[in-house]
Amino acid sequence: MIWGVSCLLILIGEVGYSAGTLYSRKTMLRVKEISPITVNAIQMMYVGAGMLLISLMFEHFHPESINLVSSASSMLYLIVIGSMIGHSLYYWLLAKTNAVFPATWLYISPVIALIIGALWYNESVSLSSILGALLTLSGIIMANLDDLKALAVSRFPIRQR
């Protein structure tokens, strides 16, 4: 029962994220002067406040188990790279391209996290993780193949003899 409800909540969240992406794109196309950074900041403030309330209701805090340096560096990375830069880039791409292309960032970021974890933290990477990353990247390439071909042709035109 809990598994089914969890799956349903994840699906509802994904539908909400998709609807928000399409709405954000429509808004940014209609209001040209709005910055992708502003769109990101507004969403981060509301989501952050909501997540704080939910965590206060459901999480159990154990201060003795916290490593301050590790926690602070992880939070700083997630705030700056994951939220500020990553999501601002997402909304910039959303304003400049179609809605499908920036959505692929959601699939690339776990692969980047896998690589960073292996290089920076000496985390072990299993064969299934490597195969999953390759499968994910090939799916992204296939989903964007037409756009990638058009980009390649515009950057490297084939000269006729």
Q: Where are the beta strands (DSSP E) in 16-108?
A: none
pLDDT in tens, 59-91: 888 888 888 888 888 888 888 887 888 878 888
Total-model pTM? 0.60
DSSP state of 65: G
Who's near 37: CB < 8 A, 6+ residues apart? 88, 91
Residue 160 domain-assigned (yes or no): no
In terms of residue numbers, what domain contains 33? 8-155
Question: How far is it, in rounded angstroms, from Cα 112 to Cα 102?
Answer: 15
> How many structural domains compose the chain?
1
pLDDT in tens, 87-120: 788 888 888 877 777 777 778 888 988 998 899 8
Residue 2 domain-assigned (yes or no): no
Residue 110 domain-assigned (yes or no): yes
Residue 53 domain-assigned (yes or no): yes
pLDDT value of position 131: 96
